[in-house]
A and B are shown apart, each in its own frame.
Chain A
Amino acid sequence: MPAFPVAAAEAVGDARLRGNLRHATHTIRDKRARAVAELPDWPELRAAGAAVKDRTLRHLDHYLERLERAVTAAGGHVHWAADAAEANRIVTALVLATGEREVVKVKSMVTQEIGLNAALAEAGIRADETDLAELIVQLGDDLPSHILVPAIHRNRGEIRDIFRDRMADRGRPAPEGLTDDPADLAEAARLHLRRKFLDAKVGVSGANFMVAETGTMVVVESEGNGRMCLTLPETLISVVGIEKVVPTWRDLEIFLQLLPRSSTAERMNPYTSMWTGTTDEDGPRAFHLVLLDNGRSDALADTVGRQALRCIRCSACLNVCPVYERAGGHAYGSAYPGPIGAILTPQLRGVTSELDASLPYASSLCGACYEVCPVAIDIPEVLVHLRERVVRGGEVTVRGTRTVIRPAGGHAAERAAMRAARWVFDHPGVLRAGQRLAARTRRLAPRRRLPGPGRAWTDTRDLPPVPAEPFRDWWRRSRGEGSGR
């Protein structure tokens, strides 16, 4: 993957993509604002959500053990996965043990994060996505570009083409004469998926929350496909990040208010499925919970960065982000695009690759993401914190061990410039001399073309003219040296 600025520049040039994103994000952000404004106690709910998550994260070991006991007592099996490879190995082995070679999937971010579908394919297992948007992405050999609406970058016409050309490869073909009418498209997907639900013996899901006190898995969704996958198969395998645990049902109540209004602008999400272990003659006979770390406990060790683990994946921050709107989701190079991706991915994966080191800079720090986040993650604060990690390196936790990392490459010139600028600013005499020189030579100053890194500015923007006299000099001239201090 190229660094963010390169991928983003390409997306900026794609007029159709920008149009699709602009339309979708603006529609949902306006609806969200209205849904949130309905609740007079939104600020209190938001603070409560943040507080519950923080408390849970502080005692994560305790709640995870409690969760494991509860799940086991309810007839489920708990597996622990330190990283993506281990999680993929566990899930693959569990599927193979059933004798099946096909699974149906509930939309889940975490299985995207670990690349589960590819790992299953390598073992000869076919995984079919059943969420409408995930299905569009899968049929189009594409990658998701949004947390909630993975195919947000596609418009109706593109979806019709994908269905018409690709559905037959993975089961029932699209009906003859398919139009781009939403009802028509939904019907095509319904027919295509119906057979899969009825035939499937194994379902794979993630979870929005895991309630520690009862071992209950909670999946919220809008289409009902998830519920089909959770209830029809004989075996259910759920991969869940360790940060998804909430202590009690009373805590859950807060998030079931925060999440739907922030994500789909609904008062309540249409389907809330809750699943506790196994039950005789109802639902899956076997339930496996794979608890995934994959960098989460390293993020937890960082007192500033850990707030990213509060995230409930509502995607509100994506929908208000002006950078996401122009760059599109793919430029972020991970399952988590947008502002949350810019702070989560470099914590989960580290900042060693060029892409991961560029993510903390994929923001103008405008603060719109922080304003809408239902669990009050101060995304700008974490971005700046991670920028420091990129340019300075320093102490971080990698796979549970405190390690000193080196600064990411490619910042030497910038570091020197920052140090020089600071030195000048800290020596007002030098600063003044420099300003005077600029004022005296101002007619030579370019307005249209700067050399070096400044070119990125003058490619599309003029520079302001250099004034004849800096403010300081004017003050001194008109007020005299002693009028300040």
Chain B
Amino acid sequence: MRVALFITCVNDALYPRTGRAVVALLERLGVRVEFPMDQSCCGQPQYNTGYRHETEPLVRRFARAFAGYDHVVTPSGSCAAMVRDNYPRIGARAAAEGRGGGLAGAVAAVAPRTLELTEFLVDVLGVTDVGASYPHTVTYHPTCHGLRALGLGDRPRRLLRAVRGLELVDLPGAEECCGFGGTFAVKNAAVSAAMGADKARHIIGTGAAAVCTVDNSCQTHIGGTLSRLGSTVRPVHLAEILASTEKEPW
């Protein structure tokens, strides 16, 4: 089984810890991961803001960089959803507009194999107990794309429940968007901030020490809001919790 790691632009630049956690976790589970150096941003910021044409070269790059792998694993629900939901659309539109160049075919080969980390763990490796230890109270925020576009369901919670020492507490209004939405956070700053503030209030109200997500981008928004409110609740990516063990706390 050849497994490639897709580290998103946000992971790479702002949260390399998350990427390193994925590597540590997968290697502990006996998976040898490769990191194709040709990879880059999935193009979601451009695409979601209306710049489909600017996205196309990045889609081509992705399809090229990850061709031939059995699975492409990424610690980002929204980037996995971008590849699975939107790449086929972009391929089809490119073909319809006469810029095919085999893009649709290349995308069809790679998109269905691109998995968010918890899908890979639960569906491909068939594990929910990854031998992790994280002795803290944690609340889980299911990010929108993980929840609705990918349909991760209870996979992340099942993984969390199997972590030694971890106490999982419910988050009220968990399924509501945190208000990030990429450029939405800047274009509609007032509404985005109001959504973030409500989310932060709910998180603080749980009394948890950490709030866990499967997306560093939402984490940036939630963490930035919590920090501005002076809260000590720590935003943490699920991969970092799962990478943590008794011997080596992450």
B-binding residues in A (CB < 8 A): 4-5, 8-9, 12-13, 18, 322-323, 326-327, 360-368, 370-371, 381, 384, 386-392, 414-415, 418-419, 421-422, 425-426, 428, 431, 435, 438, 453-454, 456-457, 459-464, 466-467, 469-472, 474-476, 479, 481, 483-485
B191, A326: Cβ atoms closer than 8 Å: yes
B120 to chain A, nearest CB (A): 18
Closest-CB distance, B231 to chain A (whole angstroms): 11
- B47 contacts across to A, CB distance below 8 A: 384
Using A12-B191, A471-B12 as known contacts, say yes or no to A363 and B58 having CB atoms under 8 A apart.
Answer: no
- Residues of chain B with a CB closer than 8 A to A5's CB: 187-191
Report the minimum CB–CB distance from B206 to chain A (whole Å): 19
Q: Hey, which chain A residues are within 8 Å of B192, CB to CB?
A: 364
Which segment, of B35-43, B102-110, B163-171, faces chain A? B35-43
**Which of B40, B51, B181, B196 contacts A460 (CB under 8 A)?**
B196
Binds A, one of B13-21, B133-141, B152-160: B13-21
Known: A414-B49, A471-B20, A475-B35. A454 touches B186 (CB 8 A): yes
9 additional A-B residue pairs with CB within 8 Å, beyond A368-B175, A391-B49? A8-B188, A368-B176, A390-B50, A418-B45, A422-B57, A460-B189, A464-B220, A466-B14, A470-B13
| One of B124-132, B207-215, B222-230, B242-250 contacting the partner | B222-230
Chain A: CB-nearest residue to B184: A364
User: Contacts A367-B149, A464-B224: A456 and B144 contacting too (C-beta < 8 A)?
Assistant: no
Contact B19 A392 (CB under 8 A): no
Q: Given A472-B37, A474-B20: A461 and B57 within 8 A (CB)?
A: no
Which of A426, A461, A462, A474 touches B61 (beta carbons < 8 Å)?
A426
- Asked if B122 lies at the interface with its beta carbon under 8 angstroms from chain A, I say no
B37 in complex: contacting residue of A371, A469, A485, CB < 8 Å: A485
Q: Cβ of B16 and Cβ of A422 under 8 Å apart?
A: no
7 cross-chain pairs, A with B, having the tightest CB-CB distances, nearest first: A364-B181, A387-B50, A461-B224, A366-B177, A9-B190, A456-B189, A367-B148
Docked pose: A472 CA to B54 CA in angstroms? 23
The reply to whether B144 and A428 form a contact with Cβ atoms under 8 Å apart is no
Known pairs A366-B148, A456-B189, A471-B19; A484 contacts B36 (CB<8 A): yes
Q: Shortest CB–CB separation between residue B1 and chain A, in angstroms?
A: 16
A461 close to B196 (CB less than 8 A): yes
Min CB gap A144→B, angstroms: 20
**What residues on A are CB-neighbors of B40 within 8 Å?**
425-426, 428, 431
| Docked complex Cα distance between A392 and B221 (Å) | 28
* A418:B181 contact, CB within 8 angstroms: no
Whether the Cβ atoms of B196 and A471 lie closer than 8 Å is no
Residues in A whose Cβ lies below 8 Å from that of B148: 366-368, 370-371
Q: Give bound CA distance, A361 to B186, whole Å.
A: 11
Complex CA gap A453/B188 in Å reads: 11
In the complex the two chains form, what is the Cα distance from A327 to B182 in whole Å? 18
Question: Given the complex of chains A and B, what is the CA–CA distance between A431 and B58 in angstroms?
Answer: 13
- Chain B neighbourhood of A4, CB < 8 A: 188
* A–B pairs, 29, beta carbons within 8 Å: A8-B190, A12-B190, A327-B191, A361-B187, A362-B188, A363-B181, A364-B195, A365-B144, A366-B144, A366-B181, A384-B52, A418-B46, A419-B54, A421-B46, A422-B43, A428-B37, A428-B38, A457-B189, A460-B197, A461-B193, A461-B196, A461-B228, A462-B227, A469-B16, A471-B7, A471-B11, A471-B16, A472-B37, A475-B23
Interface centre among A362, A422, A453, by most chain B C-beta atoms within 10 angstroms, is: A422
Pick the residue among A365, A390, A461, A472 that contacts B12 (CB under 8 A). Answer: A472
**What is the total of A-B residue contacts with beta carbons within 8 Å?**
202
Q: A5-B188, A322-B177, A461-B193 are in contact. Are A384 and B48 (CB under 8 A)?
A: yes
Is B99 on the interface with A (CB-CB < 8 A)? no
**Which of B149, B190, B197, B221 has most A Cβ within 10 Å?**
B190
- In the bound complex, how far is the Cα of B4 from the Cα of A55, in angstroms? 43
A-contacting residues of B (Cβ < 8 Å)? 7, 9, 11-17, 19-20, 23, 34-41, 43, 45-55, 57-58, 61, 65, 86, 89, 144-145, 148-149, 175-177, 179-197, 220-221, 223-225, 227-228
CB neighbours (8 Å) of A9 from chain B are: 189-191
B177 touches A470 (CB 8 A): no
A421-B35 contact given A322-B179, A364-B195, A467-B15, CB 8 Å threshold: no
Q: Which residue of A lies closest to B173 (CB)?
A: A26
- Cβ contact within 8 Å between A464 and B184: no
Chain B residues contacting A476 (CB-CB under 8 Å) are 37
Chain A residues in 8 Å Cβ range of B51: 388, 391-392, 415, 418-419, 422
Contact A425 B49 (CB under 8 A): no
In the bound complex, do residue A467 and residue B14 qualify as a contact, i.e. CB atoms below 8 Å apart? yes
Shortest CB distance B51–A (Å): 5
In the complex, A415 Cα to B144 Cα: how many Å?
26
Q: Which residues of A contact B11 (CB under 8 A)?
A: 471
State A451–B211 Cα separation when bound (angstroms): 29
- CA A472 to CA B65, docked complex, whole Å: 15
Among A18, A418, A453, A481, find the residue whose CB has the most chain B CB atoms closer than 10 A.
Answer: A418
With a 10 A CB-CB cut-off, give which of A419, A460, A475 has the most chain B CB atoms.
Answer: A460
Q: A483-B35, A484-B36 are in contact. Are A418 and B49 (CB under 8 A)?
A: yes
Contacts of B181 in A (CB 8 A): 363-366
| Distance of A463 Cα from B186 Cα, bound (Å) | 13
B202 to chain A, nearest CB (A): 13
Per the bound structure, the CA–CA distance linking A8 and B188 in Å amounts to: 8
Checking B17, B19, B144, B227 against A364 with a beta-carbon cut-off of 8 angstroms, the contacting residue is B144
A461 to B17, CA, bound (A): 21
Return the chain B residue nearest A475 by Cβ.
B35
> Once bound together, how far apart are the Cα atoms of A392 and B52, in whole Å?
9
Known A327-B191, A419-B54: A484·B13 in contact at CB below 8 Å = no
Min Cβ gap B82→A in Å is 11
Contact: A426 with B57, CB < 8 Å? yes
